[in-house]
Amino acid sequence: MNELAERVHAGDAPVVPTQRLSASWQRSQEYGAPAERITPVYTGDVDDESLFFRCGQQVLQGLHETLANEPVSLMLTDHDGHVLSRSCQDRALLKALDNTYLAPGFAFSEREAGTNGLGLALADRMPSLVRGDEHYCTGLWDYTCAAVPVLDPVHGWLLGSVNLTTWSRKSAELLFALAQTAAGHTSALMLARGRGMRPRPSPRGEVFRVSTAAHPEPTPELSQPWHTALDELRAALADGLSVGVVGEPGVGKTTLLATALRRAHPHDRILHASPPAPDDTASWLALWTPELGKHNTSVIAADVDTLPSWAATELAGILTAQPRGPLAVTAREATTIPEALARHVDKVVDLPPLRRRPDDVLPLAEHLGKRARGRDVRFTPAAARALRTYHWPDNTEQLRRVVREAAARSDVVDTRHLPPEVLCGPTRALTRIETLERDEIVRCLAEPGTTPTRAAEILGMGRATIYRKIAQYGISIPD
């Protein structure tokens, strides 16, 4: 990457470190990205119904009105780099962008366009500023691109990016700040318009966790799908293979891996490494070499699909250079494991979501209740039925929160101790007013002996209205 290094002049330090740019250039070469002229893939399909698109468009529209007289193009892309929207009133810039196909419907990931602002932001899941000849393709040297990834505020999934593009001779610092602000406002607006769920916690302070063989965490007896996945992992580990577990967030992938590792290597300590915050990635990587060199240590690298691409490549290099036992990783899907790490994974096992394992709900609830309260927690038949029939969109993590809150109120959990969300079926995203209304209806109906007619009287509703609301929100109170 000597050519790139020559472009980074002293006194003109880039916002993106040279290490990230070099890694991006290397990936661009491996992808066979064009070096002179962009010819990206055109899909033509734009998802304009998603919450991300609607919130992002509202934020960019407000910013566009502020920058109406500036030669700046504001774009929204999806997680694959497809441009979803573009706003710009400068005719010269628009014509130039059309000539390079930086327009709605075209894909501009690193794979299609080489190193560029939005492609790098999506690959590394970090804010990125690429200026002039820092672009891999000479056809993009006339531009400066500032892009910031937008993550799902609840689950942390990569949704897309906000990208601001201008001429390369223009000041980049303000462009970068505006892109960061727009991405932050998009995420905040999504959270406000969602179901009122809690935002995703920061990984700071919980990056590395160690459990020892002397104090293994007990697990409840679960159903056949769990044991099938466990047996596959144990067989692979017995053969000395590196393994991965994929599944929805919160489904218990790390717990499954820890159980398999403990049975395969009962005397090992287990190091569980969670993804770091973007600013902590370098120090996170520095911890791997001393840990991998320790004897009798099994390592779980969790959620590797959320790692920046350059960090996944660095980690793969550390694993190659450091002789050790098999690696264990988790990810949402097998295809989302970074290519550099996928080469180290021999066997991938899928763990079904909790809604497809209804027989696991009650044993898990009893286990989580005892751990939260310090003694046995029982569930009435009505509460147990409500837990088993709920669809658990956030899987075991959601069950843990629900049980912890219910067990804090009683050793015998009934439907009135459960949150309204558990007593409602799948529904569209609710406004805050609708959420409050639904919760009040559920609270009244969960009281013993309360009929819909009585609940309507308490809430000041008509009898027909409350039945319509029960159907609208999918409310079901077990007898």
7-21, 39-53, 196-210, range with the lowest pLDDT:
196-210
Q: Grade residue 297 by pLDDT with cuts at 50, 70 and 90.
A: confident
157-166, 188-197, 443-452, range with the lowest pLDDT:
188-197
Instruction: For residue 353, give both structure tokens.
Output: 């979501």
Rounded Cα distance between 38 and 34, Å, is 6
Q: What is the pLDDT of residue 449?
A: 79
Q: What is the pLDDT of residue 11?
A: 40
Asked if residue 402 lies in contact with residue 419, where contact means CB atoms within 8 angstroms, the answer is yes
Q: What is the pLDDT of residue 205?
A: 45
Residue with tokens 């791997």: 288
Q: Grade residue 302 by pLDDT with cuts at 50, 70 and 90.
A: very high
Q: Of 286, 287, 294, 231, which Cα lies nearest the Cα of 264?
A: 231
Asked if residue 326 lies in contact with residue 240, where contact means CB atoms within 8 angstroms, the answer is yes
> Diameter of the chain by CA atoms?
78
Q: Of 426, 381, 377, which Cα lies nearest the Cα of 402?
A: 377
pLDDT by residue (tens digit) across 43-61?
777 777 788 999 999 999 8
Q: Which residue has the higher pLDDT, 323 or 198?
A: 323
Beta-sheet strand order (sheet of 143-151): 83-87, 73-78, 158-167, 143-151, 128-131
Residues of the chain with CATH 3.30.450.40: 2-193
128-137, 420-429, 434-443, range with the lowest pLDDT:
420-429
**pLDDT at 17 exceeding the cut of 80:** no
Q: Could you tell me how far CA 71 lies from the centroid of its own chain? A: 33
Asked if residue 133 lies in contact with residue 7, where contact means CB atoms within 8 angstroms, the answer is yes
Q: What is the pLDDT of residue 12?
A: 45
Q: What is the pLDDT of residue 227?
A: 93
Q: What is the pLDDT of residue 8?
A: 47
456, β-bridge pairs: none
Q: Which string of DSSP letters, residue by residue, matches 320-354? A: HHS--S--EEEESSGGGS-HHHHTT--EEEE---G
CA-CA-CA-CA dihedral for 302, 305, 308, 314, to nearest 10: 60
Cβ contacts of residue 339 below 8 Å, gap of 6+? Answer: none
Q: Grade residue 88 by pLDDT with cuts at 50, 70 and 90.
A: very high
Q: What is the pLDDT of residue 10?
A: 40
Q: Grade residue 334 by pLDDT with cuts at 50, 70 and 90.
A: very high
Q: Does domain 2-193 have CATH number 3.30.450.40?
A: yes
Asked if residue 8 lies in contact with residue 19, where contact means CB atoms within 8 angstroms, the answer is no
Mean pLDDT of 445-464: 85
State which of 11-25, 172-186, 399-413 shows the largest mean pLDDT: 399-413
Mean pLDDT of 379-407: 91
Rounded Cα distance between 459 and 8, Å, is 67
Asked if residue 77 lies in contact with residue 118, where contact means CB atoms within 8 angstroms, the answer is yes
Rounded Cα distance between 368 and 288, Å, is 32
Rounded Cα distance between 387 and 423, Å, is 8
Instruction: For residue 32, give both structure tokens.
Output: 């066979």
Q: What is the pLDDT of residue 468?
A: 85
Amino acid letter, 375: R
> For a pLDDT cut of 70, what percent of the chain falls above it?
88
Residue 166's H or E segment, with its range, is strand 158-167
Q: Say which CATH superfamily domain 208-352 falls into.
A: P-loop containing nucleotide triphosphate hydrolases (3.40.50.300)
**pLDDT at 214 exceeding the cut of 60:** no
**pLDDT at 379 exceeding the cut of 90:** yes
Q: What is the pLDDT of residue 215?
A: 54
Task: State pTM to two decimals.
Answer: 0.73
**pLDDT at 430 exceeding the cut of 70:** no
Residues of the chain with CATH 1.10.8.60: 356-473
Q: What is the pLDDT of residue 270?
A: 86
Mean pLDDT of 290-308: 84
Q: Of 260, 251, 253, which Cα lies nearest the Cα of 231?
A: 260
**pLDDT at 208 exceeding the cut of 80:** no
3-17, 203-217, 352-366, range with the lowest pLDDT:
3-17
Residues of the chain with CATH 3.40.50.300: 208-352
**pLDDT at 9 exceeding the cut of 50:** no
pLDDT by residue (tens digit) across 237-292?
999 899 999 999 999 999 999 999 988 888 888 888 888 887 788 888 888 877 77
**CATH number listed for the domain at residues 356-473:** 1.10.8.60
Residue with tokens 């004897």: 295
Report DSSP state, residue 134: G
Mean pLDDT of 459-478: 82
- Establish how many alpha carbons lie within 13 A of residue 149's alpha carbon, considering only the half-sphere containing its beta carbon: 25
Q: What is the pLDDT of residue 76?
A: 95
Mean pLDDT of 342-351: 93
Mean pLDDT estimate for the chain? 85
